[in-house]
Amino acid sequence: MLKYAYNMLVYGTEPIEDGIARVAKYGYDFTEVVGEPEQIPAARIRTALDANDILASSIVSIYTPDRDLVSSNSSIRANTVDYIKGNVDHAVALGAKIVTLTPTACMKIRPEVDIKQEWAWAVEGAREAATYAHDHGVRIAVEPWNRYESYLINRLEQSIAFVDEVDHPGIGCMADTFHMSIEDADIAGAIRAAGKRLAHVHFADSNRAAPGRGHLNFTPFVEALRDIEYSGVCSFELLPAAGDVWGVLSGAGAPEFLDQYTEESITYMKNIERELGLL
């Protein structure tokens, strides 16, 4: 039986209290919190979580150009490690167990220096973050992004290689079905290859809308999660059809991503679980 979260990023600029109340209304147990600890104090989020009997599953880190683990600028690299540690602290304050990591700034698609050097910086920074996370009972989850959002880790097998190289209990892999629909040849096979390394999951359909709104077949994916005995949370990270998703979310947003997709997503996935006899 899978555990579901809805990512608060999807709700854009609306007050977090409204978002947390909404996931509670539609039967979620968890919420995924945006990694901007300075924008909304942990205490305020905690109050809303407690009021709605919702748990925080994870912190989704936001990799802006000044949060780039492989920047050629060493102070940006150091700032990025600090940022991730700050998200670990935020996770601890909220009771979340996962902080997401992608080693490049979002939408950066060109390496600045030799890619082997960048990979080495990424491993070094991730190991420091993983050590800190592990000491605080949190795990870092390395998320591959599709080719338009990053050049370094696009595919789950690259995340597996990265996690194996970091070689620390405080780090694992992450799978996002939207990115995998573009980059991976065999989604279920990739999940099985990750096995126990899989620390976190993002769900979205092939067009990044609610599962069922695109053409991705989620059944083999859920079967693979069952087979590897995945015990983490699956968070719906649904985003509008735009290159600039931050722009959309911080602007007018998209109304279907609120009540409609929140309700549809969990209903759709639970139906698959029911068909597989998991519920």
- Active site positions, annotated: 143, 237
Helices 74-94 and 115-135 cross at an angle (nearest 10°) of 30
The distance of closest approach from Cβ of residue 222 to other proteins in the complex, given in angstroms and rounded to an integer, is 16
The three-point CA angle 40-138-32 to 5° equals 40
C-alpha–C-alpha distance, residues 26 and 133, integer Å: 31
Of 159-198, binders to other proteins (CB under 8 A) are 181-187
The distance of closest approach from Cβ of residue 206 to other proteins in the complex, given in angstroms and rounded to an integer, is 6
Asked if 170 and 208 count as a contact pair (C-beta separation under 8 A), the reply is no
264 sits near other proteins (criterion: CB under 8 A): no
The distance of closest approach from Cβ of residue 212 to other proteins in the complex, given in angstroms and rounded to an integer, is 9
152 sits near other proteins (criterion: CB under 8 A): yes
Short-list 62, 111, 58, 109, CA closest to 83: 62
Binding segment for other proteins (CB under 8 A), chosen from 8-16, 54-62, 149-157, 258-266, is 149-157
Of 200-239, binders to other proteins (CB under 8 A) are 206-207, 213-215
154 sits near other proteins (criterion: CB under 8 A): yes
Going by C-beta distance under 8 Å and a sequence separation of 6 or more, which residues neighbour residue 96? 33, 55, 56, 57, 58, 59, 90, 138
Binding segment for other proteins (CB under 8 A), chosen from 10-18, 44-52, 153-161, 254-262, is 153-161
C-alpha–C-alpha distance, residues 80 and 128, integer Å: 11
Q: Which two tokens stand for residue 77?
A: 């690299």
Closer residue to other proteins, CB minimum distance, 166 or 187: 187
158 sits near other proteins (criterion: CB under 8 A): yes
The distance of closest approach from Cβ of residue 226 to other proteins in the complex, given in angstroms and rounded to an integer, is 20
Binding segment for other proteins (CB under 8 A), chosen from 121-129, 135-143, 154-162, 229-237, is 154-162
CA dihedral 254, 148, 214, 173 (to 10 degrees): -100
Closer residue to other proteins, CB minimum distance, 29 or 246: 246
How many amino acids of this chain bind other proteins (CB under 8 A)?
29
Closer residue to other proteins, CB minimum distance, 29 or 165: 165
The distance of closest approach from Cβ of residue 34 to other proteins in the complex, given in angstroms and rounded to an integer, is 19
247 sits near other proteins (criterion: CB under 8 A): yes
Contact with other proteins (CB under 8 A): which of 25, 44, 147, 196? Answer: 147
Contacts to other proteins by CB under 8 A: 109, 146-149, 151-152, 154-155, 158, 181-187, 206-207, 213-215, 241-244, 247-248, 251
